Chain A
Amino acid sequence: MLSRLLAALRRRTRKWARKRHGIDPDPTTLSPRRIYIVPSALGIAFALMLFAMFLGAMNYANNLALGLTFMLGALTLTAMHYCHRNLAGLQIRSASNEPVFAGQTARFGLALENGAKLARHELVIANEHGDATPVRVESGGRVVLQLDVPAPQRGLLMLDSFEVSTRHPFGLFRAWVYLNMDLRCVVYPKPSPRDLPPPPQETDTGGAQDTTRGDEDFAGLRAFHPGDSPRRIAWKAYAREQGLQVKVYAGTAVTSHSFDWESLSGLGTEARLSQLCRWVEDAYAAGRAFGLRLPGVEIAPNVGPGHRQRCLTALALFDERAARG
């Protein structure tokens, strides 16, 4: 009950902070004004102990005990400043995040960059799904941390608000900032289980689109580099005094498929996308060329990781209503 109440409270403060600070640019430098700081539970315990010490020292009119109490009290206030400064001026920059399939966990990389002349200690980055272990960022250093966000559906996953916090130096205070950076991660549809065979729609045989693979067709000449096979040297061109040239072949005899949205009639939108995703993944794994045809989207057959990413992203971001209307 209490934990649910706290969680609700936390959501509300996050929403409020989002309204207050707006969307943060990338990179964001933490300004001192947006850093919140409160005593931790240990800090409150320490304050109570200091109060007891204060009462005791006053009661016995013991100046040295009072002096120790004041010393520790002043030290606590100093620690508060250190805690606050440990965050102020820190730069947060988005680092890479890899696309994931729906149902997996997206990992957002965030780089903490310390441009200050002193090291920063015990920095924690957290969102409602967990936190990264505390790190130390040396002066002029940079540490990349991962934040996990579960990705249940395809589409663009926003990294919702997260916080950067610290309890340095003594764990008596906790300083933190709420951040709302506009970071997105592409979530591909979840590949459906392998039950439907790929559509037998062969569009093209022997098409050579991939310049980096295969050696079926003559593709042209290029300048000789040390290490090229002597059998590939174009001696005829050399005889024509065109310099040392090498014959280049490219292309494989590939059978390319075109995966079509329309061929999957009878399924729901998400199911169709999942099936298309499965086909794309299988074709890519088998090294076959494939194309994709969605309402409003047409991707010509090709091979390679870039092509795969393009196709999967199209699937991830497919908006049926926009396509129809």
Chain B
Amino acid sequence: MLQRLVWVTGGLGLSVLPHIAHIRPWILLLAAAAAGLRIAMEVKHWPMLQKWLRSLLAFVALLAVLLDYRTLNGIDAGTALLVLMAGMKLLETRTVRDLTVIVFLSYFALFAAFLYDQSMLALPYMLVTAWLLTVTLMRIHQTTSAMPVREAAWITGKMFLQSLPLAVLLFMLFPRLPGQFWAVTAARGAATTGLSDEMSPGDVSELSVSSALAFRAKFAGPLPAPAQRYWRGPVLHDFDGRTWRQPRTLFVPQQVAASAPIYDYKVMLEPHQRRWIFALDVPTRWPGQRAIRTSDLQLLSPREQPISTLTSFELQSATAYTVQSPLPEVMRRADLRLPQGRNARSIALAREMRGQAGSDQAFIAAVLAKFRNEQYFYTLEPPRLQLDSVDDFLFNTRRGFCEHFASAFTVLARAAGIPARVVTGYQGGEYNPLSGYLLIRQSDAHAWSEVWLEGRGWVRVDPTAAVAPERIERGLAAALADGGESLPGSYLRQSALFNRLQLAWDAANTFWNNQVVGFGESQQRWLLEQFNLDGDGQELGIALALSLIGFFAAMSAYLAWRFRPRARDPLAQIYDQLCRKLARRGLPRAAHEGPNDYVARVLQSRPDLAPLLVEARNLYVALRYGPRSWGPLLGRSELSRLKFLVNQLKV
């Protein structure tokens, strides 16, 4: 019992291990304590807990989960409850049935782990754990004697391999349903890095040290030029002197006229638990049920469905566009608003520059020229700014990252009477020739401005491009290298081998994400087309039924072959044949008769067979009961003679 208990507990532990990151520690501790207590009971022969006490514990545990998570619906609370209940169940485990239930719960925990992590590396761990759980399941059902681990592992391993073809066929052929049919609160992943809905000085530069993947994009046609790769994320309007935020009010939509080139592409977003869909510049077509375009040209997923799993969108975008309708008054007011009494020097400077410039365009050019020509520096580690961040940056520190420049530029433009807003997102991307995907990392995070110019609509102005043009053309690492700075890990990234390995790894991951994690209707249709089927539900059903029938037939045939009777030795086979032939002549051998008695009896009724039968009998008796020292060679010739004689016997 102890050994079984340890195995079952170990299996449970392995299945809960992937949940460690997102389950509250007290739940893990409680479950572990229950397991430890149960094993101690077994070792020390302590009595089991009273039934009422166990029920009370289970009830309290349920209540605690409910209080902590405020729900029992959803993956998080469900997983927590699962782990806790498995621990409580361990406490009352006594019979094989109880142990089996724990193994079932472990399978379920493993299943739940996939809801959090579908990465390629998770799969081998899950498969090995599932295998170990099955080994445990087999061993706890061996009541005769403990089955050796190696034998159980061997048998279950073979069974896994035998089940694999059917599992793969089911996976490929089972029709997928679009969308959820049971809305539950989505998984709260571990805190992910990514853009947030507000921007303070230092936010984007913090993000830039992370080389984690933000999303991938694959273009149907040619890629946009590096300087055109602006991926728009949250658009920020409200400024309090330091931090930019999204507005709470909604704006009036405006007409957008896009002109060539138009890009068709697919973005595959890593989960970031927010609603933003990063589209190239201005999206002109998007899947209407799964995304909306806001009036400030952001693409968002529906409110109740943040991007919590790897999600793909087929999009179309334009990099050249004009906004034709006039700027509504609400938007103009919002995008001109500056906090009262903050950044006074900057505002004065902007008014003065606007007066000298004569036009909005000339003013913008003048500001950019100021950034370019005066002593402003692009750096990943800008000094901390005081409360009036724009004043401090423009007149004192003069060192900043993209958010400093974007923020300062937007404030100057607003002060000069030009409606302006800050756009955060990503800029650039690394092309992976192995997968054909553009990889956009967190280090590509960027912030820039958009200004409203009468007659042209919203125009992108990227002040960073004025200070550090390499950032836009060649990426962050290049821009920093010019200033003598280096990005963490950039040494590795510059190594060609590492880079190649990384790209290969990413290509494998992309394949995995597309073909396995993202396997769906389109892949199924493609698959059926390979077999010249048109891929409707009916044909999938027929294919499913056929695979099941095929599996049953193959499995029965294989096992019948594996369990076939052991071969009898050749001599016995020949003797059996002789007996069968005689039996067909109405002279079956009685169970008690040896060859001598049998042949004697046969010869009484069939004396005509005498010469043949007597020789056959002598040969058989000699081969079967004679001395071993005859040697194999002699034995073989006798055997073939016997075979010949039996064949001579006509029925």
Output the nearest chain A residue to B182 by Cβ-Cβ distance: A59
Q: Do residues B142 and A121 form an inter-chain contact, with CB atoms below 8 A?
A: yes
What string of 1s and 0s marks CB contacts (under 8 Å) between B136-162 and chain A? 011001111101000000011001101
A81 surroundings in chain B (CB, below 8 A): 552, 555-556, 559
Instruction: Say yes or no: is A88 at the interface (Cβ < 8 Å to chain B).
Output: yes
Give, as a whole number of angstroms, the nearest-CB distance from B38 to chain A: 21
Stretch at the interface among B62-70, B105-113, B392-400, B492-500: B105-113
Stretch at the interface among B122-130, B260-268, B431-439: B122-130
Q: Do residues B104 and A169 form an inter-chain contact, with CB atoms below 8 A?
A: no
Q: Do residues B155 and A77 form an inter-chain contact, with CB atoms below 8 A?
A: no
Instruction: Say yes or no: is A219 at the interface (Cβ < 8 Å to chain B).
Output: no
What string of 1s and 0s marks CB contacts (under 8 Å) between A162-184 and chain B? 00000111110000000000000
Q: Do residues A134 and B143 form an inter-chain contact, with CB atoms below 8 A?
A: yes
A7 surroundings in chain B (CB, below 8 A): none
From residue 48 to 77 of chain A, which have CB atoms closer than 8 A to chain B? Answer: 49, 52-53, 55-75, 77
Give Cα A121–Cα B147 distance, bound, in whole angstroms.
Answer: 10
Q: Do residues A62 and B163 form an inter-chain contact, with CB atoms below 8 A?
A: no
Instruction: Say yes or no: is A42 at the interface (Cβ < 8 Å to chain B).
Output: yes
Q: Do residues B566 and A140 form an inter-chain contact, with CB atoms below 8 A?
A: yes
A135 surroundings in chain B (CB, below 8 A): 144
Instruction: Say yes or no: is B167 at the interface (Cβ < 8 Å to chain A).
Output: yes
Output the nearest chain A residue to B166 by Cβ-Cβ distance: A74
Give Cα A84–Cα B143 distance, bound, in whole angstroms.
Answer: 19
Instruction: Say yes or no: is B320 at the interface (Cβ < 8 Å to chain A).
Output: no
Instruction: Say yes or no: is A122 at the interface (Cβ < 8 Å to chain B).
Output: yes
Instruction: Say yes or no: is B176 at the interface (Cβ < 8 Å to chain A).
Output: yes
Instruction: Say yes or no: is A269 at the interface (Cβ < 8 Å to chain B).
Output: no
Give Cα A5–Cα B239 distance, bound, in whole angstroms.
Answer: 79
Stretch at the interface among B321-329, B450-458, B511-519: B511-519
Give Cα A286–Cα B281 distance, bound, in whole angstroms.
Answer: 113
Q: Do residues A57 and B111 form an inter-chain contact, with CB atoms below 8 A?
A: yes
Instruction: Say yes or no: is B134 at the interface (Cβ < 8 Å to chain A).
Output: yes
Give, as a whole number of angstroms, the nearest-CB distance from A248 to chain B: 31
The 8 closest A-B pairs by CB, nearest first: A74-B163, A65-B114, A74-B166, A85-B559, A70-B170, A116-B563, A74-B167, A171-B141
**What are 23 inter-chain pairs, A to B, with CB distance below 8 A?**
A42-B100, A45-B101, A49-B107, A59-B181, A59-B182, A65-B115, A68-B130, A70-B170, A71-B127, A71-B130, A73-B167, A75-B159, A75-B160, A77-B163, A77-B166, A81-B555, A117-B564, A121-B142, A121-B147, A122-B142, A133-B144, A134-B143, A134-B144
Q: Do residues A170 and B137 form an inter-chain contact, with CB atoms below 8 A?
A: yes
Question: Of A55, A73, A75, A116, which contacts B565 at CB under 8 A?
Answer: A116
Give Cα A89–Cα B155 distance, bound, in whole angstroms.
Answer: 20
Interface residues on chain A, size class? 35 or more
Output the nearest chain B residue to A86 by Cβ-Cβ distance: B563
B167 surroundings in chain A (CB, below 8 A): 67, 70-71, 73-75
Q: Do residues B114 and A115 form an inter-chain contact, with CB atoms below 8 A?
A: no
Instruction: Say yes or no: is B286 at the interface (Cβ < 8 Å to chain A).
Output: no
Question: Of A32, A71, A73, A122, which contacts B141 at CB under 8 A?
Answer: A122
Output the nearest chain A residue to B551 by Cβ-Cβ distance: A77
Grouping DSSP codes into helix (H, G, I), strand (E, B) and loop, the A interface class, with mixed when no group exceeds half, is helix
Give, as a whole number of angstroms, the nearest-CB distance from B366 to chain A: 53
Q: Do residues A70 and B171 form an inter-chain contact, with CB atoms below 8 A?
A: yes
Known: A63-B519, A65-B111. A89 touches B180 (CB 8 A): no
From residue 216 to 272 of chain B, which have CB atoms closer than 8 A to chain A? Answer: none
A117 surroundings in chain B (CB, below 8 A): 562-566
Known: A63-B518, A63-B519, A66-B174. A139 touches B114 (CB 8 A): no
Q: For the complex, count residues of B whose C-beta is within 8 A of A.
A: 63
Q: Do residues B130 and A118 form an inter-chain contact, with CB atoms below 8 A?
A: no
Instruction: Say yes or no: is A46 at the interface (Cβ < 8 Å to chain B).
Output: yes
Instruction: Say yes or no: is A261 at the interface (Cβ < 8 Å to chain B).
Output: no
Q: Do residues B115 and A89 form an inter-chain contact, with CB atoms below 8 A?
A: no
Output the nearest chain A residue to B156 by Cβ-Cβ distance: A169
Give Cα A167–Cα B141 distance, bound, in whole angstroms.
Answer: 8
Known: A56-B115, A62-B114. A169 touches B566 (CB 8 A): no
Give Cα A67–Cα B172 distance, bound, in whole angstroms.
Answer: 9
From residue 526 to 585 of chain B, which have CB atoms closer than 8 A to chain A? Answer: 551-552, 555-556, 559-560, 562-566
Known: A57-B111, A64-B516, A68-B126. A45 touches B104 (CB 8 A): yes
Q: Do residues A59 and B142 form an inter-chain contact, with CB atoms below 8 A?
A: no
Interface residues of A (CB under 8 A from B): 32, 42, 45-46, 49, 52-53, 55-75, 77-79, 81-82, 84-85, 88-89, 115-118, 121-122, 133-136, 139-140, 167-171
Interface residues of B (CB under 8 A from A): 75, 96-97, 100-101, 104, 107-108, 110-111, 114-115, 118, 122-123, 126-127, 130, 134, 137-138, 141-145, 147, 155-156, 159-160, 162-164, 166-167, 170-171, 174, 176-177, 179-182, 184, 309, 516-520, 551-552, 555-556, 559-560, 562-566
Give Cα A64–Cα B119 distance, bound, in whole angstroms.
Answer: 9
Q: Do residues B104 and A78 form an inter-chain contact, with CB atoms below 8 A?
A: no
Give, as a whole number of angstroms, the nearest-CB distance from B179 to chain A: 8
Give Cα A174–Cα B32 distance, bound, in whole angstroms.
Answer: 34
Question: Of A53, A61, A74, A134, which contacts B111 at CB under 8 A?
Answer: A53
Q: Do residues B141 and A168 form an inter-chain contact, with CB atoms below 8 A?
A: yes
A169 surroundings in chain B (CB, below 8 A): 138, 141, 155-156, 159
Give, as a whole number of angstroms, the nearest-CB distance from A11 to chain B: 26
A72 surroundings in chain B (CB, below 8 A): 107, 130
Give, as a whole number of angstroms, the nearest-CB distance from B189 to chain A: 13
Q: Do residues A56 and B559 form an inter-chain contact, with CB atoms below 8 A?
A: no
Question: Of B181, B184, B555, which contacts A77 at CB under 8 A?
Answer: B555
Give, as a whole number of angstroms, the nearest-CB distance from A173 to chain B: 11
Give, as a whole number of angstroms, the nearest-CB distance from A229 to chain B: 37
Give, as a whole number of angstroms, the nearest-CB distance from A67 to chain B: 5
Question: Of B114, B127, B180, B559, which contacts A59 at CB under 8 A?
Answer: B180
Give Cα A88–Cα B53 distance, bound, in whole angstroms.
Answer: 47
Q: Do residues A116 and B564 form an inter-chain contact, with CB atoms below 8 A?
A: yes
Give Cα A306–Cα B455 distance, bound, in whole angstroms.
Answer: 124
Known: A69-B111, A73-B170. A85 touches B563 (CB 8 A): yes
Q: Do residues B560 and A85 form an inter-chain contact, with CB atoms below 8 A?
A: yes
B182 surroundings in chain A (CB, below 8 A): 55, 59
Give Cα A27–Cα B110 distance, bound, in whole angstroms.
Answer: 47
Give, as a whole number of angstroms, the nearest-CB distance from B308 to chain A: 9
Give, as a whole number of angstroms, the nearest-CB distance from B623 to chain A: 22
Output the nearest chain A residue to B187 by Cβ-Cβ distance: A60
Q: Do residues B517 and A64 form an inter-chain contact, with CB atoms below 8 A?
A: yes
Give Cα A1–Cα B403 distance, bound, in whole angstroms.
Answer: 79
Q: Do residues B180 and A60 form an inter-chain contact, with CB atoms below 8 A?
A: yes
Give, as a whole number of angstroms, the nearest-CB distance from B301 to chain A: 14
B96 surroundings in chain A (CB, below 8 A): 171
Q: Do residues B563 and A78 form an inter-chain contact, with CB atoms below 8 A?
A: no
Give, as a whole number of angstroms, the nearest-CB distance from B105 to chain A: 9
B155 surroundings in chain A (CB, below 8 A): 169
Give Cα A214–Cα B185 distance, bound, in whole angstroms.
Answer: 97
A84 surroundings in chain B (CB, below 8 A): 559
Known: A62-B309, A74-B163. A68 touches B110 (CB 8 A): yes
Give, as a whole number of angstroms, the nearest-CB distance from B234 to chain A: 26
A64 surroundings in chain B (CB, below 8 A): 114, 118, 122-123, 126, 516-517
B563 surroundings in chain A (CB, below 8 A): 85, 88-89, 116-118
Give Cα A59–Cα B166 distance, bound, in whole angstroms.
Answer: 22
Give, as a whole number of angstroms, the nearest-CB distance from A43 to chain B: 10
Give Cα A117–Cα B567 distance, bound, in whole angstroms.
Answer: 9
Q: Do residues B142 and A74 form an inter-chain contact, with CB atoms below 8 A?
A: no
Q: Do residues B138 and A170 form an inter-chain contact, with CB atoms below 8 A?
A: yes
Q: Do residues A118 and B566 form an inter-chain contact, with CB atoms below 8 A?
A: no
Give, as a whole number of angstroms, the nearest-CB distance from A217 to chain B: 36
Other A-B contacts than A57-B111, A61-B309, A81-B555, 8 sampled, CB-CB below 8 A, are A62-B115, A64-B517, A68-B110, A75-B134, A77-B551, A117-B565, A134-B143, A171-B100
